[in-house]
Structure 1
Amino acid sequence: MALTHKAGGQGGRKKVQVSFVIREEEEKQHRAGVNSLQYDPLLDRLYSAGRDSIIRIWNCKNPKDPYLQSMEHHFDWVNDIVLCCGGKNLISASADTTVKVWNAHKGFCMSTLRTHKDYVRALAYAKDKEQVASAGLDKAVFLWDVNTLTQLTANNNTVTTSTMTGSNNSIYSLAMNPPGTVIISGSTEKVLRVWDPRTSNKLMKLIGHTDNVKALVVNKDASQCISGSSDGTIKLWSLGQQRCIHTFRIHEEGVWALAVNESFTHVISSGRDCKVLMTDLRNMSKPPVLVCTEKAPVLKMVTTPDQAGIWVATSESDINYWALPKKDISPVASGDGNDSDVCDLKPYCSAPVFTIKGAPAIRKVHTLNDKRMILTQDSDKNVALYDVLEARKLEDLGQVDFEEEIEKRHRRIYVPTWFNIDLKTGMLTIHLTQDENDCLAACVSSREVGLTCPEEPDMRVNYGTVLLRALLEHWLDPFTKDEDAEIGGHQIRQIANDFRLVRVPGHTPLIFSDVGGRAFHRLLVKDAGGENESTLLKETVPQWVLDGICDKNNPAKNQFPKIAFFLQPHPSTGIKHMKKCIPKTTTENLK
């Protein structure tokens, strides 16, 4: 089935939320797990897809300083990547529901495909035909022509994709052979579904696994494929006979990653048990070779073309390169050599040849009761202090007691919660919405929170308004100079002379999405004044944000809510009664 799609199209929208990431200007290290890898043998470069939303390029010739460049345009986990066109282009799939096309050599995003309706989990590449398939939690499989994707422009932005129908469950793995004669998917349905991409016809369904199928590889002529499952098994299938030839029970837990050599004589497997095993497919009774044991569950592996080594990515931020044994090596047992159980195998490698170091991810967070400062603790137990309103880190406190730091910074002040925190990427992502935590709900005295204005030392401010103006400052500036400028029914010039209490770093990523995480637009704060970005923001910025920026219905400009209460004497005072009074006071005076 064919589907016509506009690159960059957004379709019907749900309620829009505004998000931003507090981070360094250049993040050279992964901050969380690495979901996928691709190796370019011509340039000796490694591409890594991070859970921190960033794709990074590494120079494998320079182990001491391998970082080359970051490719940034996603704002959620990058789940899979494939190199195409001899390494010139890269396709990425993300939990932000998009598929992106990149210039791999220059590192910039060329176009964005928004056809998927949920997380995009897997990609597959047919090298001989330059086709890429994408699939994910929306149960859909789309087939794309890479040459068409790389020619997309702002004016030429329509592309036709083929759809493989019939999947009943979320898809987690995908495979295509180089000639592009089959597409195979693995899902929570616990089966393998096989299609002919030339006709989009379903060919077969392979049944045998008892849990999610997380990894797939297929040989060149599509006669055989191998699957790895969360049930802990690896299965070798004959597509011609439509049956399982052999089941390998060599892992203690789920199998999440597979890699094969081009001749399909050996398979390397790993997953939740952290063991990287090499199995000889020509002699299936032969025990596997334990290549190495990682420190965290393995998510992806990619071998060098000469099969001399393998790059391994895990749920931690380091990427390791391990030497591979020669294919005729026999497994080495740590005991008397008679027990072929994997638990008794001695690793071929005791240490990696080369490690691309990652950075710690933020794992714990506490918002202080001024609802501006945040304390965090990362995976190395380092504690840091952040300022949400200025979108920056204030101080690294080191490996101190997290709870003691919270207690030390406690203040007797009440401010409503006005933002949500997300640690999914290993960095601080702040979400501003109008849900139960309304970002325009926090009205405070500037004196109480240290936002003093010389002209109005006791000015009341709205945290949400202050921050939204700072995030969109570069977009608003041109409009404030035009007396007739109007956006969303508001005269923008009216805020031109308002005192700007804070400014956020220009490198801060600013994201517009629906509350479910479906992407609309991502940009850097400093780029919001550009012609293209400004035009897109006019279409993207929701009305509630414009109202907030212009102080429409903002209680900070009016009167604070009043609270009625009675005063009663404490028994210890000896006062028998006191005159009934119902004073009215603002919340800021209740301490």
Structure 2
Amino acid sequence: MTTTTPFPSTPIASLPGTPYPIHALAYSAAPAAYILTGSGDRAIRLYNPFPASSGPRGAVQPGKLVQTFEAHGYEVLDLCVASDNARFASCGGDRSVFLWDVATAKTTRRFGGQHGHTARINTVAFAGVDESVLVSGSFDASVRLWDAKASSMKPIQVLSEARDAVQVVLVCPARPAEVLAGSVDGRVRCYDIRMGRCVTDVIGEPVTSLCATGDGEGVLVGSLGGVRLMDRGNGGSLMSYDGAVGGSLG
């Protein structure tokens, strides 16, 4: 596939706030006017990246820090935002998933503890038609599903097919009942949480990232071996992209 549109390469805003590593970034849902960051200082920050400014034309403008969210005991590793922008979820090194209310800047639910993951949680996503389910993937090689509306702290389902750390989970809005999970064991697993089915695609290299196409029919798979565009219908590789440089997972 060729394109004549150059990839953006000029900074237009900066988001000040922490000297610690930023592990997670997420735009708010449409119209994507805000940005959330999760960092090594255990805090989550909400920014308006483009506040009204009278700065010189063409200069990189500082974003405005709107709110800081604090509850995690260790680094924040991933964030996901609900489609109504009223809630978001976070996860991290404290083996917990937090559900937040944006208006009050407080947590409404915490999933973890006795029935939770046994190692750091690398990834989290909303699932279900009404986004009433949270999906988390962990260094403990499991994927867990949590009922965001119920009072129970137990996961409603534990998916243990992976043989190594789960680095990323993905739920496409076009297929809210399907969960994709990418693992260091070199596989992408597609779970149909309604039918109880699991389909596995072998990538052959540790999987580090997943991104669905707009129609939900394809998924970009990032691994230590490169990037592939996969067909979700038959699991075939539609295209490979050169230029990725492999490395080691920390």
* CA distance 1:73–1:212, shift in 2 (3 Å): same
Q: After superposition, give the CA deviation of every residue in 1:497-555 in whole Å (9 maximum; x if it has no partner).
A: xxxxxxxxxxxxxxxxxxxxxxxxxxxxxxxxxxxxxxxxxxxxxxxxxxxxxxxxxxx
Where does residue 218 of structure 2 map in the other structure? 266
**1:179 aligned to which of 96, 107, 130:** 130
Alignment of 1:277-426 (within 5 A): 277-284=228-235, 287-297=236-246
Q: After superposition, give the CA deviation of every residue in 1:152-198 in whole Å (9 maximum; x if it has no partner).
A: xxxxxxx3431123222210011113732211000011110001112
Q: CA RMSD in A?
A: 2.4
3-state DSSP class of the match of 1:67?
A: coil
Equivalent residue letter for 2:76: V
Asked if 2 retains the 8 angstrom alpha-carbon contact of 1:182 and 1:222, the reply is no
Where does residue 139 of structure 1 map in the other structure? 95
Where does residue 54 of structure 2 map in the other structure? none
| Structure 1: distance between partners of 2:9 and 2:242 | 25
> Aligned-pair distance for 1:297?
4.1
> Aligned-pair distance for 1:76?
1.6
2:14 is equivalent to residue 67 of structure 1: no
2:44 is equivalent to residue 88 of structure 1: no
Alignment of 1:108-123 (within 5 A): 108-123=64-79
| Structure 1: distance between partners of 2:119 and 2:8 | 44
| Structure 1: distance between partners of 2:228 and 2:7 | 25
| Structure 2: distance between partners of 1:130 and 1:291 | 37
Asked if 2 retains the 8 angstrom alpha-carbon contact of 1:87 and 1:104, the reply is no
> Aligned-pair distance for 1:139?
0.5
Greater fraction helix? 1
TM-score normalised by structure 1 residue count: 0.36
Asked if 2 retains the 8 angstrom alpha-carbon contact of 1:206 and 1:242, the reply is no
For structure 2, which runs of at least 5 residues remain unmatched after alignment? 52-62
* CA distance 1:212–1:160, shift in 2 (3 Å): closer
Moved over 4 A (4+): 61-65
Aligned length: 226
For structure 1, which runs of at least 5 residues remain unmatched after alignment? 1-60, 150-158, 299-314, 316-591
Asked if 2 retains the 8 angstrom alpha-carbon contact of 1:163 and 1:200, the reply is no
Greater fraction strand? 2
2:110 is equivalent to residue 170 of structure 1: no
Q: After superposition, give the CA deviation of every residue in 1:274-303 in whole Å (9 maximum; x if it has no partner).
A: x1111111123xx302331234249xxxxx
Where does residue 45 of structure 2 map in the other structure? 100
2:172 is equivalent to residue 216 of structure 1: no
Q: After superposition, give the CA deviation of every residue in 1:289-331 in whole Å (9 maximum; x if it has no partner).
A: 2331234249xxxxxxxxxxxxxxxx9xxxxxxxxxxxxxxxx
2:143 is equivalent to residue 192 of structure 1: yes
| Structure 2: distance between partners of 1:137 and 1:116 | 8
TM-score normalised by structure 2 residue count: 0.82
Equivalent residue letter for 1:207: S
**1:235 aligned to which of 189, 201, 211:** 189
| Structure 1: distance between partners of 2:246 and 2:103 | 36
| Structure 2: distance between partners of 1:218 and 1:269 | 14
Asked if 1 retains the 8 angstrom alpha-carbon contact of 2:13 and 2:50, the reply is no
3-state DSSP class of the match of 2:19?
A: coil
Equivalent residue letter for 1:113: F
Where does residue 77 of structure 1 map in the other structure? 21
2:79 is equivalent to residue 128 of structure 1: no
> Aligned-pair distance for 1:74?
1.8
Equivalent residue letter for 2:22: V
3-state DSSP class of the match of 1:279?
A: strand
Asked if 2 retains the 8 angstrom alpha-carbon contact of 1:126 and 1:179, the reply is no
Percent identical across equivalent pairs? Answer: 24
Structure of larger gyration radius:
1
